[in-house]
Structure 1
Amino acid sequence: MARTRPTRAVTVPGAGTMFALRAIGLVILARWLHSMAQMNFIAALEGMASSPVACLNLVFLFLLIVLPGAKARVERPFHPLPQWLRQALRFFGVFGCLFALWSIGAFVWMAGWRRAVHAAAETNGWLVVLPALYAAVVWICRPRALWRSNFAARRFAIGRYAVSIDVATRTTVVWLESRKLGQYDARELSVRWPGGARVRDGSNPGRAGEPGGVGAAPVSEPVGEPVIPAHAPLDAETTLAASAESAAPVVPAAPATATTPSTQIALIAPVQTAASSHDRRPKIALMWDSPAAAGHNRQTVFRIRLMTEGDRVAARALDAALKQA
């Protein structure tokens, strides 16, 4: 009987994140021990005990190497760490990066660029690598969604929020990073585009300046002039015009102000800048409207601004999927 050939174990999503964090912690610890080996260990330990910054670094290294509570799971590819650990590593990483930059800046200010470059060469570039390692920890632990968008699997990632739709049961689960916000009926959820951002986002095929298109200005008619139908005869036009002239009030003309082209551009530029920034980054809201939940009707599940093109595409796909449900 033929036996199946054993295959190599597939890496669980999230294991690379844990490996990178542990590698950074081991590199910092090895460099720290190397620096302590060049001096007296007893004096170094006494100095560390009296330094609060060194104690914070020890806690940071312990969390970075041990990673308590971390576990790589397939259903959470971008969040193998618990939320409290991510927040703690992010805080210690920002603090360590700022302290390293401040120490290096003070050394450069006091010793000068030449001695700073010479010290960086003697330490094999450690003065540059150390802030970069702290910044890498902050970047790895940055706020992000639970997974990537997969429209075929009905999974959507918008900023820090992740939404999954189960077509069989018509249920929707919403996550904020690794925290579950709630489970809802997909028929009771809807995507709202405040300020008409959905129209500007591409649902209207018209172009700006065309009647009915995006950005088309409303057609205004002159004050005091009657609207004459095209099929009216000539005598009717004359009669309407005469009656309008006799009935229209006299409106004093506004004083003419001399405006230069530069002044007009200065007045129009802020409005155009604000409109263009709003078009590039529209804000959406996921609304929950349940007629069965008394006192909980029309609640906002989340509201977020679409910063990237991927967020805009995921928002449009989520809107279409909820309408189909």
Structure 2
Amino acid sequence: MARTKETRANAAPGAGTIFTLRAIGLVLAARWFFSMSQMNLTSALTAMASSPWACINLVFLFLLIFQPGARAVAERPFHPLPQWLRQALRLFAFLGLLFALWSVGAFVASAGWRRAMQAVAATNGWLVAAPVLYAAVLWICRPRPLWRTNVAARRFAIGRYAVSLDALTRTVVVWAERRKVGQYDARELSVRWANGPAARPTPTPTPAVAFGAAGEPGASAAPIASVAAPALTRGAFGMRPKVELLWDSPAAAGHNRQTVFRAALMTEGDRVAARALDATLRQV
């Protein structure tokens, strides 16, 4: 079967994430080098060598712009970056956001709001843009599953976990972000609702209506809404309901009734995906 050739007009999912992070890195680098250009070369190099924050910034900018190991692949649309790079960018962005907020806050406290507004205008809004850019990197590198939920393809996303089910071999592969948690027999897995209003039983739909046959062109995830519970609500003390994926294997001595993962249902999509996964595992 001929494969679709990836072109600029048909880029792999995740290319936008790489482009956005690189663009943020170039903007931060341009502004940083502009600030350094106000000093002579010797003073700039001396200041950089004696400043730990400058060294952290250099490493952060290098990772943002060059992104070693980053590659957009259709099988992991939300994770084009290696896990170590995502974690490093998240850490550096968090430190940068704290430093930017502390610097701006200290300046406002000492100079007052009027001079702060004048400084924002004099720097073309950079005092506000810098924290926003660090926050954007932090948000882009947040914990996410590998893909979106696609019930027809038997792919589910709950929190930062991704679950794929092969109907032919009856095997389930679980991923935590980009790390593979394990591969299991689908008949040995079950979903348990830990707490909250979503813990009520769900009627099992017929496969032809709710899920469609494997590889069927008309298969869609939309009918699952007919078996979903009421809208997601918070439990006691504002806590979100949680769901657990349990592995109960009679053949695995010492591993019976093990929790594969436990995740809070933060969004309506998480709840629908958990219900769809529960219904699918009951049909295996």
TM-score by length of 1: 0.73
State the one-letter code of the partner of 1:104.
V
Name 1:242's counterpart in structure 2: none
**8 Å contact kept, 2:170–2:187:** yes
Name 1:101's counterpart in structure 2: 101
Name 2:183's counterpart in structure 1: 183
**8 Å contact kept, 2:196–2:241:** no
1:318 equivalent in alignment to 2:274: no
**8 Å contact kept, 1:197–1:283:** no
1:145 equivalent in alignment to 2:145: yes
Alpha-carbon separation, structure 1, partners of 2:266 and 2:93 = 25
1:291 equivalent in alignment to 2:255: no
Q: Deviations over 1:147-199 (max 9, x none)?
A: 10011100000000000001111110000000000001111111112358555
Alpha-carbon separation, structure 2, partners of 1:29 and 1:118 = 24
Alpha-carbon separation, structure 1, partners of 2:186 and 2:258 = 14
Residue 274 of structure 1: CA displacement? Answer: 5.2
Shift in CA distance, 173/274, structure 1 to aligned 2, threshold 3 Å: closer
Q: How many residues align?
A: 251
Alpha-carbon separation, structure 1, partners of 2:15 and 2:88 = 19
Q: Deviations over 1:199-246 (max 9, x none)?
A: 54766xxxxxxxxxxxxxxxxxxxxxxxxxxxxxxxxxxxxxxxxxxx
After TM superposition, which residue ranges in structure 1, 4 or more long, deviate above 2 angstroms? 6-9, 194-203, 273-278
Structure 2 residue runs of 5 or longer lacking an equivalent are 204-233
Residue 136 of structure 1: CA displacement? Answer: 0.4
Provide the alpha-carbon RMSD of the alignment.
2.2
Name 2:32's counterpart in structure 1: 32
Structure 1 residue runs of 5 or longer lacking an equivalent are 1-5, 204-272
Shift in CA distance, 319/202, structure 1 to aligned 2, threshold 3 Å: closer
1:290-309 to structure 2, matched below 5 A, reads: 290-309=249-268
Alpha-carbon separation, structure 2, partners of 1:146 and 1:34 = 38
Alpha-carbon separation, structure 1, partners of 2:6 and 2:257 = 51
Q: Which has the larger radius of gyration?
A: 1
Alpha-carbon separation, structure 1, partners of 2:87 and 2:6 = 37
Residue 8 of structure 1: CA displacement? Answer: 4.8
TM-score by length of 2: 0.83
Question: For 1:190, what is the secondary structure of its paired residue?
Answer: strand
1:13 equivalent in alignment to 2:13: yes
1:59 equivalent in alignment to 2:18: no
**8 Å contact kept, 1:12–1:73:** yes
1:135 equivalent in alignment to 2:101: no
1:187-206 to structure 2, matched below 5 A, reads: 187-195=187-195, 197-200=197-200
Question: For 1:112, what is the secondary structure of its paired residue?
Answer: helix
Question: For 2:174, what is the secondary structure of its paired residue?
Answer: strand
State the one-letter code of the partner of 1:318.
L
Q: Give percent identity, aligned residues only.
A: 71
